[in-house]
Amino acid sequence: MEAVKAELNKTPRSLSKQARRKQLIEATIKCIADKGLSGTTMADVTQQAGLSLGIVNLHFQSKEKLLIETLSYISDEYTSGLNEIFNDDNLTAEQKILAHINFDFSRKIIDRNKLAVWFAFWGETKSRPTYLSICASYISEIANNLTHLFALLKQQGGYSTVNPDLVCTCYTALSDGLWLDLLITPKGLKPAQAQAVAMHYLATQFPNHFKSHTGH
């Protein structure tokens, strides 16, 4: 405790700055979910954060930079969660895939505010390549890791007809589509059901490793 506090005191300003930035980013997420990307004003964000109007420009210089930092924030959260799984040497390929699918549909990720932010930015991607460039690198990194896991499972399980690249593309697209479903029809599909759908697909490819539990 004392040590932590002492460490905190080492750089009080910069730490406090980080905390304030995070506070503003989280207010931004809430605002984008509530009012949309176009409907979110500086007044909205600062009010949501309980701070004064000028604070965003003080910490982020401009609204555009705040939005970019917000996208980076949720991207990083997602990527680092997955990397923890990929880099865990105690897990088998099968366990890593299971952990991946659990993570993809966990409470932390399936938060409708955050889903709204994801899709708000996807919708602007074509007109603002910056948004895409933030995600492009992590997207291909995840795809590589996932493809590798599918290739391992193919080898270990003797699934001679499986095409790891194809399965990765299909699983990823399926996962994105289920996220969209969860965002737009909250009453229709529950996270657990969405996960079951994804699992059902994996079961078609690796029947000895994964079972679909949606029979009736």
Binding mask 8-47 for a copy of itself (x = CB under 8 A): ------------------------xxxxxxxx--------
Tell me the C-alpha distance between 106 and 179, whole Å. Answer: 11
Residue in 7, 34, 64, 76 binding DNA, rule: CB under 7 A: 64
- Tokens standing for residue 38: 């176009």
Contacts of 40 (CB under 8 A, 6+ apart): 28, 31, 32
Closer residue to DNA (CB): 49 or 167: 49
The SS3 call for residue 95 is helix
Restricting to residues 23-62, name those near DNA by CB under 7 A: 39-43, 51-59, 61-62
Q: Does 172 bind a copy of itself (CB under 8 A)?
A: yes
Could you say which of 2, 3, 6, 9 contacts DNA (CB under 7 A)? 9
How does DSSP assign 140-161, residue by residue? HHHHHHHHHHHHHHHHHHT-TT
DSSP secondary structure code for residue 106 in this structure: S
7 binds DNA (CB under 7 A): no
The amino acid at residue 21 is R
**Coil, strand, or helix at residue 23?**
helix
Pick what 175 binds: a copy of itself, DNA, none; C-beta below 5 to 8 Å, kind-dependent.
a copy of itself
Among the listed residues 93, 212, 99, 207, the one whose alpha carbon sits nearest the alpha carbon of residue 159: 207
Where do contacts with a copy of itself occur on this chain (CB under 8 A)? 32-39, 112, 116, 119-128, 132, 135-136, 139, 161, 163, 166, 169-170, 172-178, 180-181, 183-185, 189, 194, 197, 200-201, 204-205, 214-216
